Structure 1
Amino acid sequence: MKAYVAVLRIADYRLLWTALVINLLGDGATYTALAWITVERAGAGGLGVLGVCLTLPVIAGGAVIGPLLDRFSRRKLFIYDSVFRAAVVALIPLLAALDMLAMWHLYGVALVYGLLKIIPLAGTPAVLPELVPAEDLQAASGLEATAMGVANVVGPALGAVLITLIGSSNVLLLDALTYLAFAFLISRIKAPLDRPARVEDGSRKRKSGWAPVFDMIVHDKFLLSLTLSFAAFNISVGALLVALPWLAKFEFASGPGILGLLLAVLAAAELVGSLVSGGMKTTEKQMLRIGQLQIIAGGLLLLMVYRSLPVILIALLLTGILSAPMTVMGGVVRMTRTPQEMRGRAMTLMRTTMAGALPFGAAIGGILLSGDHYTELIVLVTILAAAPGVFTVLIFRSVPFRLGVSADADRAPAAVES
């Protein structure tokens, strides 16, 4: 806990963390509302479409947002994005009040959310090294994951309650307000959060465009392994985003309360895992531990073949506790291995690739569940989640990770010798 106390004493980081909690709280409630409206109006097929709309545009958004994060003020991008999305989300309760709400409106809001989601998703880790010292990055990364966990625990449960009290569409109005709160808190951060300084290395031109970022990731086994293995894991997560509402509606024949419970248990477990891992010290066995955790966390999903609510809750609980440290420890590796002048594009590319895997899982889930192939879906989800961990363990069993050593630093000696 000392590590968390130390990093939270940094006022600018505290503002960023608070903004994330508020914003993610609204998003958690909104997902529950969107999923429930969709499952009632369009069934499992509609959930598949919603999942694709929420996640697939992240790929297109990343192609545009990455260069912007390295060329313009990250503060302004955060604020403009939040204000715009607040206006878009607020359209849903307005249309509902006018009795004009249709499914394509929900899909449209989901598309905008997915398109711009990469701004905070990649922008937050891109600015963390500007707000906290290197030795506190794991604690800062842990608290970032904790922010997601705290919000996601309360958000789905809050969404389920609010659906009953004010109706599903009006939950989106609260999410719009959280976007505005996020923009306000970011505006209070004293650090400039400006575009990164241009780096000149002798006669070398400043690294611009996507080519040097691709080259760095492809040739750095740390970054490449994390990106591919986490992408495979996220395909499974995308499928679960469809499977959980389907289970609540058709298997357990229950209301939004069960869906909120399933999502909250998973989020609570991830919160516990994030809290524990964020307080741990970074070690040379960072990658090895990530691989081991992925094997176990992914393998536990197989328990979900038993269509029993207690068993499914246990599977989600254990998987969440073990998978969250992967995110925290992986975040430290990515921030360390990426040079500052490419951090916006690199974080965007890596997180876009990982988040872009979600719609494939959502599409797979929608197709298989439409044919009532639940067991087959869970087996596939387990394989995709766990198998990459085996390769990570094999590759990094004798390769140490060193804090402060970037991908460029590792490649520099080879460049000199050649």
Structure 2
Amino acid sequence: MKTYLTVLRIADYRILWVGALVSLIGDGASWIAMSWLAVTTGGAGSLTILGLCYSSPIVVGGLLAGKIIDRFSRRKLLVADCTVRGAVMLSVPLLALSGLLSMWHLYAVAAVYGLLKILPIGIIPTVIPDLVPKRHLSTAIALESIATNAAGLLGPAIGGALIPLIGVNWVLAVDAVSYFAFALAVLGMKARLDKPGHTVAGAGSGAGRGAWAPVVTFLRTDRVMLVITVAFTTFNVAMGMLIVAQPWLAHERLPGGATMLGILVGVLACAEMAGSVLAGLIPPAVRPMLRIGVLQLVAGAGLLFLLGAHPALVLVGQVVCGIPAAVLVVSSQAVRYERTPEALRGRTMTLMRTLMLSALPVGSVIAGPLLGSGQYTAMVLVMVVLAGGPGLLSLLFVRNAVVNARTSEPVGTASSR
């Protein structure tokens, strides 16, 4: 834990980390509040529409964010995002007080959230290398993952506890305050978080900071980055299937109903947090793609425990999957930092995270029909292949790639490693 304390003693990183953690906890609480408001006001149909508004705009948001994240000050973008989303969240309790709140207002709020969600998701990892020494980069990445997992546990719990105490609408006001607090925290940082100061040499006219062409070319020609993108996008399809499988198991196969669902979600979240903590304590690998490939195979194999739908084995399977999955996420992000040119870093991180997040609903689309037709075993096997199979890409094609292979290479030549 001394390593974590060392990183948290870096003032600007600590301010950013704490501010992001508070905001993420507020997001978790606000989703509980909005979903509860939707289901109690408009029933299951309203909840479905809300979910689509909440998650679907992330693809458009990712494309738009890539156009600005390397062109403008990251500090100003974070402050603007927090201010806009805070004001939008605050509009719900204000409209409720005036008696003007309708369901379409809630849908609009969810859509704005989904549209802007990718901005901090893309910006925060982009600026981490500018805030911490290189030797502590893995720990700083792990702390970001820990904050996300902790918020996933605490946010919904806090939201559920606050609803009967202060009312569902005012939980959204609390989230608005968390956004404004994050904006003030960013303004209090000494680091300016400026836009990149240069473009990629030799990238041609497409190297403008708002262009996607150099990013796509970089990901396509750098074999390591291509493998990471394909492997993690596919892995997230499997995780999207697991999100659907959890409530189905709790309702159809496992005892305990909603209580069991809470246990399933909680155990997976705890396993992922444990993996994030572990990732920050272990030294970086000389050949990280070898580690990543093995970890992804182990994570995929862990899902085999879901076969048979025995309660204890399902929980074990989620732990065996969740811990290595979190470690490989941190390891892969360190590789991405090393191989991505600084002028492309914002767009590259944004595009990769947009692809990975967009893969989650794809998994839901695959799992739903399989479970609906009684093909649970087939669903698990598909999930295992999607989660673990891409680990073979790392082992077969890039297992010997070293972490700093791209340091002295121009874009487009790293694939020879």
- Normalising by the smaller structure, the TM-score range is 0.7 to 0.9
User: Aligned letter for 2:410?
Assistant: D
Task: Determine what percentage of the aligned residue pairs are the same residue.
Answer: 42
What does residue 214 of structure 1 align with?
Answer: 216
User: 1:156-215 CA distances to partner (integer Å, 9 max, x unpaired)?
Assistant: 332333345455554333322221221111111110111111247599768211111111
What does residue 129 of structure 1 align with?
Answer: 129
- CA–CA distance in structure 2, aligned partners of residues 272 and 227 of structure 1: 24
Confirm or deny: 8 A CA contact 1:13 1:131 kept in the other structure.
Answer: yes
CA drift at 1:30: 3.2
CA drift at 1:411: 2.1
Stretch of structure 1 that moved more, 302-311 or 75-84: 302-311
Relative to structure 1, is the Cα distance of residues 168 and 378 closer, same or farther in structure 2, using a 3 angstrom cutoff?
Answer: farther
CA drift at 1:122: 0.8
Q: How does 1:187-266 map to 2 (within 5 A)?
A: 187-199=187-199, 201=201, 207-208=207-208, 209-247=211-249, 259-266=261-268
- CA–CA distance in structure 2, aligned partners of residues 13 and 403 of structure 1: 27
Relative to structure 1, is the Cα distance of residues 52 and 287 closer, same or farther in structure 2, using a 3 angstrom cutoff?
Answer: farther
Relative to structure 1, is the Cα distance of residues 101 and 206 closer, same or farther in structure 2, using a 3 angstrom cutoff?
Answer: closer
CA drift at 1:273: 0.6
Where 2:403 maps in the other structure, the secondary structure is: coil
- CA–CA distance in structure 1, aligned partners of residues 219 and 301 of structure 2: 28
Stretch of structure 1 that moved more, 231-240 or 398-407: 398-407
Unaligned runs of 5+ in 1: none
What does residue 280 of structure 2 align with?
Answer: 278
TM-score if structure 1 supplies the norm length? 0.86
Relative to structure 1, is the Cα distance of residues 313 and 96 closer, same or farther in structure 2, using a 3 angstrom cutoff?
Answer: farther
User: 1:122-176 CA distances to partner (integer Å, 9 max, x unpaired)?
Assistant: 1011111211122221111111111112222222332333345455554333322
Alignment partner of 1:335 out of 334, 337, 356: 337
CA drift at 1:87: 2.2
Q: How does 1:35-50 map to 2 (within 5 A)?
A: 43=44
What does residue 326 of structure 2 align with?
Answer: 324
CA drift at 1:7: 1.6
CA drift at 1:24: 1.4
What does residue 394 of structure 1 align with?
Answer: 396
Confirm or deny: 8 A CA contact 2:339 2:404 kept in the other structure.
Answer: no
Relative to structure 1, is the Cα distance of residues 100 and 262 closer, same or farther in structure 2, using a 3 angstrom cutoff?
Answer: farther
* 2:303 equivalent to 1:301: yes
Relative to structure 1, is the Cα distance of residues 412 and 107 closer, same or farther in structure 2, using a 3 angstrom cutoff?
Answer: same
CA drift at 1:387: 1.4
Confirm or deny: 8 A CA contact 2:93 2:172 kept in the other structure.
Answer: yes
User: Aligned letter for 2:184?
Assistant: F
Confirm or deny: 8 A CA contact 2:59 2:354 kept in the other structure.
Answer: yes
User: Aligned letter for 1:176?
Assistant: A
Confirm or deny: 8 A CA contact 2:206 2:213 kept in the other structure.
Answer: no
Confirm or deny: 8 A CA contact 1:61 1:116 kept in the other structure.
Answer: yes
RMSD, matched Cα: 3.2
Relative to structure 1, is the Cα distance of residues 244 and 53 closer, same or farther in structure 2, using a 3 angstrom cutoff?
Answer: farther
Where 2:70 maps in the other structure, the secondary structure is: helix
User: 1:309-358 CA distances to partner (integer Å, 9 max, x unpaired)?
Assistant: 54433333332212101111111111111111111111111111111212
User: Aligned letter for 2:192?
Assistant: P
Confirm or deny: 8 A CA contact 2:26 2:178 kept in the other structure.
Answer: yes
- CA–CA distance in structure 1, aligned partners of residues 369 and 415 of structure 2: 50
Relative to structure 1, is the Cα distance of residues 19 and 132 closer, same or farther in structure 2, using a 3 angstrom cutoff?
Answer: same
User: Aligned letter for 2:175?
Assistant: D
Relative to structure 1, is the Cα distance of residues 413 and 362 closer, same or farther in structure 2, using a 3 angstrom cutoff?
Answer: closer
Relative to structure 1, is the Cα distance of residues 35 and 243 closer, same or farther in structure 2, using a 3 angstrom cutoff?
Answer: farther
Relative to structure 1, is the Cα distance of residues 42 and 314 closer, same or farther in structure 2, using a 3 angstrom cutoff?
Answer: farther
Unaligned runs of 5+ in 2: none
What does residue 15 of structure 1 align with?
Answer: 15
Give the paired residue count: 412
What does residue 115 of structure 1 align with?
Answer: 115
Where 2:26 maps in the other structure, the secondary structure is: helix
CA drift at 1:55: 3.3
User: 1:250-303 CA distances to partner (integer Å, 9 max, x unpaired)?
Assistant: 766978665544333222211111111112221222111111111121222233
- CA–CA distance in structure 1, aligned partners of residues 321 and 388 of structure 2: 11
Q: How does 1:55-204 map to 2 (within 5 A)?
A: 55-94=55-94, 98=99, 100-102=101-103, 105-166=105-166, 168=168, 170-199=170-199, 201=201
User: 1:20-50 CA distances to partner (integer Å, 9 max, x unpaired)?
Assistant: 211111222334445566677655x877655
What does residue 314 of structure 2 align with?
Answer: 312
Stretch of structure 1 that moved more, 394-403 or 274-283: 394-403
Where 1:356 maps in the other structure, the secondary structure is: helix
Stretch of structure 1 that moved more, 374-383 or 280-289: 374-383
- CA–CA distance in structure 2, aligned partners of residues 30 and 249 of structure 1: 25
- CA–CA distance in structure 2, aligned partners of residues 248 and 160 of structure 1: 20
Stretch of structure 1 that moved more, 114-123 or 54-63: 54-63
What does residue 347 of structure 2 align with?
Answer: 345
Where 1:148 maps in the other structure, the secondary structure is: helix
Relative to structure 1, is the Cα distance of residues 113 and 254 closer, same or farther in structure 2, using a 3 angstrom cutoff?
Answer: farther
User: Aligned letter for 2:8?
Assistant: L
- CA–CA distance in structure 2, aligned partners of residues 399 and 344 of structure 1: 23
